């Protein structure tokens, strides 16, 4: 039994395609596509791109309208606040003028005396605090017996 010959001849595919001749295509070529009728010019193409990139004109109009309304609301609120501030200032000026021109009355004396009394009370409290803080320093510097006696004194004064 003999061996079979498994060898296959190599065929160059490019050479084979050239040997067949030109290929007949069923569709249009690139040249046909570029030369077609109704193809847009470069300017028309740019206009289409611009329209696409700008988006909807109605949306832009609506946004402008809303911005204008918002600005108007802000302006109105600012005017209201300024008017209130001006009214307050005018009112304060009137009150100051009235106080200057008003003659002293007995009620004003009592209010001023009560003010001075409250000021003196505040001063007294401050002095008392200072005394207490100085006493507490003395207590800690002294012996333990002295500390106990000062605590006892404080307790007695609170009970009274």
Give this prediction's pTM.
0.29
pLDDT at 137: 67
How is 91-139 classified by DSSP, letter by letter? Answer: HHHHHHHHHHHSPP-HHHHHHHHHHHHHHHHHHHHHHHHHHHHHHHHHH
51-57-63 Cα angle (round to 5): 135
The two tokens of residue 31 are: 């040249």
116-157 pLDDT tens trace: 778 888 888 888 888 877 777 666 665 555 556 666 777 766
Residue 75 has pLDDT above 70, yes or no: yes
39-60 pLDDT tens trace: 888 999 999 888 887 767 788 8
How far is it, in rounded angstroms, from Cα 65 to Cα 71?
A: 10
């Amino acid at each position: 039994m003999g061996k079979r010959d498994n060898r296959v001849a190599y065929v160059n595919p490019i050479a084979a395609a050239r040997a067949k001749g030109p290929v007949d295509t069923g569709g249009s070529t690139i040249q046909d596509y570029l030369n077609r009728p109704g193809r847009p010019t470069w300017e028309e193409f740019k206009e289409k791109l611009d329209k696409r990139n700008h988006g909807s004109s109605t949306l832009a109009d609506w946004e402008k309208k809303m911005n204008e309304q918002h600005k108007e609301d802000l302006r109105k609120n600012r005017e209201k606040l300024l008017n209130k501030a001006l009214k307050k200032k005018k009112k304060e000026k009137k009150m100051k003028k009235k106080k200057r021109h008003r003659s002293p009355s007995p009620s004003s004396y009592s209010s001023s005396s009560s003010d001075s009394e409250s000021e003196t009370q505040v001063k007294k409290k401050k002095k008392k605090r200072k005394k207490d803080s100085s006493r507490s320093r003395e207590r800690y510097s002294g012996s333990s017996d002295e500390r106990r006696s000062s605590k006892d004194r404080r307790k007695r004064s609170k009970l009274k």
